[in-house]
Amino acid sequence: MKVLKDLSEDDLVTISDFLSNEINREIGFISNPKEIIGMDVNVKVAFDDIDKRLDVDTDVDLDTDSLSNLGEDAIGEAVDRAYKKLDNFIDAHFKVDE
């Protein structure tokens, strides 16, 4: 069975950057760049050394053109897809055999 290794600050930055990039990419797949006026993706990553637990929290602030029909559900689904990619990334790069 694989478990999460002890994560360094550099590891946390790598995880944060990966998720931020994937959220941007996934939102790009569902929208026309002309629809998006501004987008701010904040990712907070914390690792509990004792419990070996990784907490990842995101906040996506998206300003769209008034004619855009990009809805909250579509954005939520894009973020969910990015989290699934993050799970695979963590499994591949930050888990070790117990």
pLDDT at 21: 97
pLDDT at 22: 98
48 neighbors 31 (Cβ within 8 angstroms): no
In this structure, what token pair is assigned to residue 22?
């994937």
- Which CATH number belongs to the domain containing residue 9 in this structure? 3.30.300.100
pLDDT at 4: 93
Nearest C-alpha neighbor of 84 from the set 17, 26, 2? 26
Range 26-43 burial, b when 16+ CB lie within 10 A, else e: bbeeebeeebbeebebeb
Q: What is the pLDDT of residues 50-60, one digit of tens each?
A: 888 999 999 99
pLDDT of 73 strictly over 90: yes
Q: Which domain holds residue 21?
A: 2-97
Q: Which pTM was predicted?
A: 0.93
Structural domain tally of the chain? 1
pLDDT at 56: 97
